[in-house]
Structure 1
Amino acid sequence: MITVPRGLVLSLAAMFSAYHVVLGFYSLTQPRSPVPAILALVVYGVATVLSLWPASPIRMPLWLAYFNIAVCAMLPLLVGSQLDGSVDNGYATWYVAAVGTLMTITATRRRPWLAGVGTAALVVHTVFWAGPAALGSMGVIGSVVWVAVAVILARALAKAGRDARQYALAEQEATEWQAAQEAHLYERQVRLAQTIRLAAPMLRRIIDQGGELNDEQRQESRYLEAAVRDEIRGRKLLNDAVRDAVMSARRRGAIVTLLDEGSIDDIRGAELDSVLNTLASAIDATTADTIIARTAGDGSATAVTVVGLSSADAKLSALGQESPEPEVNLWLEIPRNPVLIARSQR
């Protein structure tokens, strides 16, 4: 979006305001007494400096807007009290353009309604002081038009700014969505390639043998099916070491379940390798019949929780005694911090 430097706008407004001050001093010989006009020039100068102060916020403070309205009501009274409204006073009515400029600044600084109040005060004074016909000859209509144009432009620029921010936000969201979709696509491609690598040899064997498999081949197919399920449900809980450890545990008869719920998606690189290698070592070391590895909840200092359960003693069931609950053979919480992982392994 094209923007105009604020310093340039302030400089132009200051030049217009200074021009009115020059006209006011130039015409001091026309009023019956120059004192009220000089006081009006001083008050107008103070209001202008405060309104154009470079460090002030874009939206004019409410107290300053009310002060400007008071100045706009004061200028016609001070200057007009020393002039004759029935004649052409020339540059002595400099306050008309000054009020228009000050209210234009007020409207530009996002106080449109208060700018309208100050302009209305000028119109009412002119009508009562010099008559309705003076609205055109004294330039009051021009000041009203300035303020109206400033209000319209300020609203248009504010709307354009809001639209630009909305478009930028929409573009950012679209970019993030596209990045997420590309990441999902890449992950699907990786999972698909891994699945094909695991299952393709057995699928070719099934095709070659017409589906007639011996017991050993059927059991191997079950292992491969579980490995494919791990690729879907385990996601980031898998690396080559974990895959090998899980397959070894299944071949000895253990039931292994891997559940990744997305809470370790922010762990990458060496930290993730440390967590997964610890998980693989824990699966290799346990003799539990059932192993469950699951990611911890969001905000937890633990990355993965590993539980190993051993079945009840079969001899007790054979003797008719009530079988006890499965025993916890393994309970391990793998922290997210590699330093804590190293300490836990000592």
Structure 2
Amino acid sequence: MISVPRWLLLALAAMFSGYHVVLGVSSLATRAPASPWPVVVALVLYSVATVLSLWPTRRARMPDWLAALDLAVGIVLPVLVTSQLDPDAENGYATWYVAAVGTLMTIAAARRQLVVAWVGVLVLALQTLLWAGPLALGTLGVVGSIVWVAIAHMLSSALAGAARATRRYAQAEREAAAWQAAQDAHLFEGRMRLAQTQRLASPMLRRIAERRLLTDAERAECRRLEAAIRDEIRGRMLLTPAVRAAVRAARERGATVTLLDEGGIDDLDEVERDRILSRLAEALESTAAERIVVRTAAEGSAVAVTVVGLSGADADLDSDEAEVALWLEIPRAAGAFAEER
């Protein structure tokens, strides 16, 4: 894509605007009006408005106060200059104000003040029509000024539409990249879980295929293996070598352990997560509860992981006779209070 430096556009606009000032000054020398002061005031007003309009800023849209100033100058300029001209005479360069107003309104249109630009050239056309008649609209260049504003309007609208489309495409690209990253993460995690499951299950599956019949100890080992595989699916971030070892030890003594990771610790850094999971492993090793439920808390909670251990009455969670053997809330922040009983 070919791009034009902004400074070059500003320089061209400044040169074009300065040309109108040169024509206005030369008209004072070639066609001396009855009083030069209205033309001088018009030149000063036009120069000030042009400099302010072309002054480099980060904001593309012209401020409203500057647009109002340009419109006021565009209305006053024809009145000041034509007050010293004869509409029936050949005024030559003395009608420089027509192109000057057209240029000023074109700059306003390019800087997204379209209403001001159109009002300015329409007022210029009306003033010319009242001052010199309908033929003067073509001979003085008013039609050309209107055409330039129309071109600037179309270009400004096209560029604004392109900018909006670019923003939409950029947002869509970011969303597509985020979706692709999430899919890659899910795929990687799925492969990792599959590899972990294969590593756990392959020896037992080969043993089953070889022997056909299993002993009671091997059946118990299969149940523990199934629970470990279930942990890999539902436990996710709760699993470390220490936690796996503690869970396995608890199951070997006959306890039922359930790990539920609901994403509550996904946003923690590795140091904080290791601290929390080390405390979890210690709690699992020290408890004698018959049923243990480990669950991550919701995001935004001060608690990272909740551990509940029950004993008695088959350790049923819905049983009124179950006794709470362990209640532990591991905080997200180091040094915070962990409630345990």
TM-score if structure 2 supplies the norm length? 0.92
Residue of structure 2 equivalent to 1:234: 235
Q: State which of 330, 333, 340 in structure 1 corresponds to 2:329.
A: 333
Structure 2 equivalent of residue 121 of structure 1: 123
Corresponding residue number in structure 2 for 1:87: 89
Cα drift, residue 261 of structure 1:
0.5
SS at match of 1:22: helix
Instruction: Tell me, in whole angstroms, the C-alpha distance in 1 between the residues paired with 2:94 and 2:58.
Output: 32
3-state SS of 1:107 partner: helix
CA distance in 1, matches of 2:183, 2:166: 25
Residue 306 of structure 1 is matched in structure 2 by 307
Q: Tell me if the contact between 2:328 and 2:339 (Cα under 8 Å) persists in the aligned partners.
A: no
Instruction: Give 1:173 shift.
Output: 1.2
**Closer, same or farther: CA 333–5 of 1 in aligned 2, 3 Å:** farther
Aligned position for 2:132: 130
Is 1:176–2:178 an aligned residue pair? yes
8 A contact 2:327–2:339 mirrored in 1? no
Residue equivalent to 1:10: 10
Secondary structure, in 3 states, of the residue corresponding to 2:46?
Answer: helix
| Counterpart in the other structure of 2:197 | 195
1:207 is displaced (CA, Å) by: 1.7
Question: Take 2:149 and 2:176, find their aligned partners in 1: how far apart are those partners?
Answer: 40
* Structure 2 letter corresponding to 1:27: S
Bigger shift: residues 95-104 or 51-60: 51-60
Give 1:134 shift. Answer: 1.9
What is the identity, as a one-letter code, of the residue corresponding to 2:84?
A: Q
TM-aligned CA deviation for residue 221 of structure 1: 1.0
User: In the alignment, what sits opposite 1:320?
Assistant: none
Question: Bigger CA drift: 331-340 or 182-191?
Answer: 331-340
In 1: Cα distance, 2:186 partner to 2:2 partner: 37
Report the equivalent of 1:75.
Answer: 77
Residue 40 (structure 1) shift: 0.9
Which digits, 9 at most, give the CA deviation of each residue in 1:252-283, with x for residues without a partner? 11111100001211224232222212211110
* SS at 2:28 equivalent: coil
Cα shift at 1:233: 0.7
* Aligned residues with identical type, % of pairs: 61
Distance 2:336 2:58 in 1: 52
Determine helix, strand or coil for the equivalent of 2:325. strand
Change (3 A) 1:5 1:335: farther
1:15-66 deviations in Å (ceiling 9; x for gaps): 2221111111110142332111111111112221222232473212223222
Structure 2: any 5+ residue segments left out of the alignment?
none
**CA pair 263-109 structure 1, distance change in 2 beyond 3 A:** same
Instruction: Determine whether 1:266 maps to 2:273.
Output: no
Cα deviation for residue 334 of structure 1 reads 1.6
Q: Partner of 2:65 in structure 1?
A: 63
Report how far residue 312 of structure 1 moved: 4.5
Partner Cα separation in structure 2 for residue 20 and residue 203 of structure 1: 92
- Report the equivalent of 2:159: 157
- SS of the equivalent of 1:28 reads helix
Structure 2 Cα separation of the partners of residues 277 and 334 of structure 1: 10
Q: 1:159 to 1:288 in 2, by over 3 A?
A: same
- Counterpart residue type for residue 327 of structure 1: E
**Per-residue deviation at 1:3?**
4.8
**1:318 equivalent in structure 2:** none
Q: What's the C-alpha RMSD, in Å, of the aligned pairs?
A: 2.2
